[in-house]
Amino acid sequence: MKVPLSWLREYVDLPAATAHEVADRLTMAGLKLESITSYGHDVKNVVVGEVLEIEELTGFKKPIRHCKVEVGEATPREIVCGATNFVAGDRVPVVLPGGVLPGGFEVGARKTYGRMSEGMICSERELGLGDDHNGIMVLPAGTPIGTDVVELLGLRDDVIELEITPDIGYALSVRGVAREVATAFGVAFRDPADVEVPAETEPSWPASIGDPTACDRFVLREVRGFDPAAQSPLWMRVRLSRAGMRPVSLAVDITNYLMLELGQPLHAFDRSKLTGEIVVRRAREGERLETLDHVVRELDPDDILITDQSGPISMAGTMGGLETEISDGSTDIVIEAAHFSATGISRESRRHGLVSEASKRFERGVDRELPLVASWRAVRMLAELGGATVQPGVTHAEVDVTPARIAIPAGHPSAVAGVPYSKEVVVGRLEQVGCLVTDGDDPAVREGGVDPTGVVTGGELAARLAVTGPDMITVTPPSWRPDLTDPNDLAEEVIRLEGYDRLPSVLPSAPAGAGLTEGQRLRRRVGRALAEGGYVEVLSYPFIGADDFDRLQLPADDARRRAMRLANPLSEDEPLMRTTLLPGLLKTLVRNVGRGFGDVALFETGAVYRPRENAPAAAPVLGVSRRPTEEELASIEAALPDQPLRVAVVLAGEFERSGWWGSGRQASWADAVQAARLVAAESRVELSISADQHEPWHPGRCAALYVGDTLVGHAGELHPRVIEAYGLPPRTAAMELELSRLESGMPGPVQAPPVSPYPVATQDVALVVPDFTPVADVEAALRDGAGELLESVRLFDVYAGEQVGEGNKSLAYTMRFRAAGRTLTVEETTAARDAAVAMAADRVGAQLRSA
């Protein structure tokens, strides 16, 4: 909304405030400033002149005229001009030598077309008054010669442009902004809508409301004998241009001017093109309308139309019809002003892609009391400026609407802001907005047992009233504020007018002993450990498509195929909530490889969404007028999916980089397993690993990850078909592990182990086992057999060849022994090692490898 400061001053007794000071006050009141544009402040030495003589110069490709112009000096000025729309005797604006036009354009005396030109005769565009550049601007005949044009035409002005949010539609008018400025400066406000409208009982053109849900007030007034050739006055054209609208014709300009001033859109019909009674109704199946933009539109049954006996003649509140538009020959005019459904106009505008100045206002809410006033002012201006005769009578069709009333404790704004406001301040600020405030709680305001504050119930209400005080007030919002429907809306008005800058910044005090939960600390530790291990964290969208299940080679009965479907997906290709982290990671890997990054190790931590058995098809949709009951919360919880937290990694290419120091090492399934070990180490749990077959991993290179008897994830090399389906590099490996299960198995606070001051004893042992024997089983047997003296056991070599026989493998371990209170003897260490070997032989058939 662009508002010229001079227009504001007509309705507000502003002190000597600059546009920037006004804008600052509006910003403090909650309106958003877009820009401030200054006009005419650099213009100087422009005066009114009278054309005395005109000499037509010949021999040029275009008309050139040499003029003598009287400008109130001792001798007339000689000026060369190319315009032909003026004659001798006309009064025109003249820039004298040394004068400056908008934009810093300086005019001097120079010789052109063989004659001396001492200045310049100006058009409207050259003076910054509009876009008209078709000819010279001709001033009224009686304009005094030599008068300063800047003062005469009001060229100096500042325009404040505001960004109007959907909840403050009243500010899409000079009237609304002027009221805010008057409140901000504490000065008087003169309402342009405060005019006396004659009490008329006779109808004008017949009209009725066919659908009360589409329109609740419809007003028609009529003028006859309008002069189609009448021009809009300069002051009106200037204001329209500076407010961002293009002047068209007097009739159209008047409706636009009043819309900008009052906020009430108006529409003018050519009376001679109307047939029969006008009815406001919804569209019927198959109806069409050619609008003013020459587009024939197929109408939707939900569209709001203005119709007569011929059918639709206008899309209400959006755009008029071409058939009844005002033309160059229109002399009899019917002015329409109405109050349409805000939601209806909003849907209609978006359905047809028609966003007009009228629809912007209607969809935000227009003052229901304006149609009578705005239509009366429109016909009066048509009479005064266009020579029309106002016909007696007015058509006023309306539907009864009960004014909204809101009962709140007087201390409610204080409870919301955390700042004490007295009852007098609250009442005073609400009355400044235009509300009618009465003492007491009106029981009729309460609906359905909702408490007076509209936001709290039961014991919470009692606690709130104990703080705010029991004084209740009943507030009736003004007709121009349809956005005030809730106690918190009223609280916001009090707070913003008192000043957002007066709200203290108070940091909440942290309760003692609070901090990160164990789960939050685990997630951070896991992220740091994987990052230190060479992985890069990514964040993928939690959405997947059904084709991801096929590319992962999941069986038809796999639980991961049961996914929650989004009601409004961002992409039709990914309408499901993810049940595994792998699709997002694999797509990110492909994207990186496609951009030349072939050596990639990625990880992601996030939730997956697994629908529960026998869960409701959809969660109930609850209102916001009160807190849900425990039963309603339980019904919502029952419809929600399980959301366990998981961590996953994918890696391809070189995991250890090659360079001048030597060749690197390709990533493999073992690195994916090691990533799981890193995560388990941060969780302080013992991870057991065994071979498994689980999609999407390779059936011979897949490891199942256990904590005790609980399966927590899988790791290994991906199946070749999965690699082909996603376009991944060969031998891509991945791991996915459920952090939620690890968290539940964590042993609690870390217990620092005792540190032994005695030396460690080391024993190496090589065991021959069948090649299908899991390494984890061998290690577990060694630990159980060695007993409490064993400090650690580490696999350092795996061998398969002729020396151990076909179908066997050799596993070499380093075993470290230490006692807490003494130095171990060789006999004790040897005995512990032998016990460990015996246990391995008993459990997995291991044999000591001979030298």
Q: How far apart are CA 808 and CA 318, in angstroms?
A: 84
Two tokens, residue 389: 């005769």
Residue 775 has a pLDDT of 87
Cβ-based neighbours of 595, under 8 Å, separated by 6 or more: none
Whether 605 has a pLDDT exceeding 70, the answer reads: yes
Q: What letter does residue 565 receive in the DSSP assignment?
A: B
Q: How many residues does the chain have?
A: 851
- pLDDT for 671-680, tens place per residue? 999 999 999 9
- pLDDT for 621-659, tens place per residue? 888 888 899 998 988 888 889 999 999 999 999 999 888
Q: Report the percent of the chain where pLDDT is more than 70.
A: 96
Three-state secondary structure readout of 598-649 = CCEEEEEEEECCECCCCCCCCCCCCCCCCCCCHHHHHHHHHHCCECCEEEEE
Specify burial of residue 824 (Cβ count, 10 A radius: 0-12, 13-18, 19+). middle
The secondary structure of 106-172 as a DSSP string is E--EEEETTEEEESEE--TTTTTS-S--SSPPPBPTTPPTT-BHHHHHT--EEEEEEEPPTT-GGGS
User: How many Cβ atoms are within 10 Å of 771's Cβ, its own excluded?
Assistant: 14
Which residue, among 834, 845, 841, 844, has the nearest Cα to 786 in the 3D structure? 834
CA distances in angstroms from 486 to 408, 739, 809, listed in the order given: 9, 44, 77
User: What is the Cα 849 distance to its own chain's centre?
Assistant: 70
512: pLDDT confidence band, cut at 50, 70 and 90? confident
Residue 380 has a pLDDT of 95
617: pLDDT confidence band, cut at 50, 70 and 90? confident
- pLDDT for 661-672, tens place per residue? 888 899 999 999
Q: Render the burial of 780-792: b for 16+ CB within 10 Å, e for the rest.
A: bbbbebbeebbbe
The backbone region for 130, taken as left when phi is positive above 0, alpha when psi lies in -120 to 50, beta otherwise, is left
- pLDDT for 431-474, tens place per residue? 999 999 998 765 444 443 334 334 333 334 444 444 444 588 99
Residue the block writes with tokens 């203290």 = 504
User: How many Cβ atoms are within 10 Å of 753's Cβ, its own excluded?
Assistant: 8
Residue the block writes with tokens 């179908």 = 807
HSE, CB side, 13 Å, CA atoms: give it for residue 478.
15
Q: How far apart are CA 239 and CA 308, in angstroms?
A: 34
Q: What pairs with residue 22 in β-bridges?
A: none
Cβ(252)–Cβ(333) below 8 Å: no
Q: Strand 808-817 to strand 688-691: parallel, antiparallel, or no bridges (unpaired)?
A: unpaired
Mean pLDDT, the chain, as a whole number? Answer: 89
Cβ(712)–Cβ(488) below 8 Å: no
- pLDDT for 537-553, tens place per residue? 999 999 999 999 999 99
Whether 127 has a pLDDT exceeding 70, the answer reads: yes
Q: How far apart are CA 374 and CA 371, in angstroms?
A: 5
Specify burial of residue 58 (Cβ count, 10 A radius: 0-12, 13-18, 19+). exposed
| Average pLDDT score over residue span 320-328 | 91
Residue the block writes with tokens 């919301």 = 416
User: How many Cβ atoms are within 10 Å of 321's Cβ, its own excluded?
Assistant: 23
Which residue, among 767, 661, 650, 781, has the nearest Cα to 717 in the 3D structure? 650
Three-state secondary structure readout of 435-457 = CEEEECCCHHHCCCCCCCCCCCC
Q: How far apart are CA 10 and CA 7, in angstroms?
A: 6
Phi, psi values for residue 132, rounded to 5°: -70, 115
Q: How far apart are the first and last CA of the chain?
A: 93
Cβ(650)–Cβ(666) below 8 Å: no
Residue 516 has a pLDDT of 84
Q: How far apart are CA 138 and CA 132, in angstroms?
A: 12
- pLDDT for 797-824, tens place per residue? 999 988 888 889 999 999 999 998 899 9
- pLDDT for 235-252, tens place per residue? 898 899 899 898 889 999
User: How many Cβ atoms are within 10 Å of 87's Cβ, its own excluded?
Assistant: 9
| Average pLDDT score over residue span 357-377 | 94
Residue 817 has a pLDDT of 95
104: pLDDT confidence band, cut at 50, 70 and 90? confident
Two tokens, residue 455: 């936001």
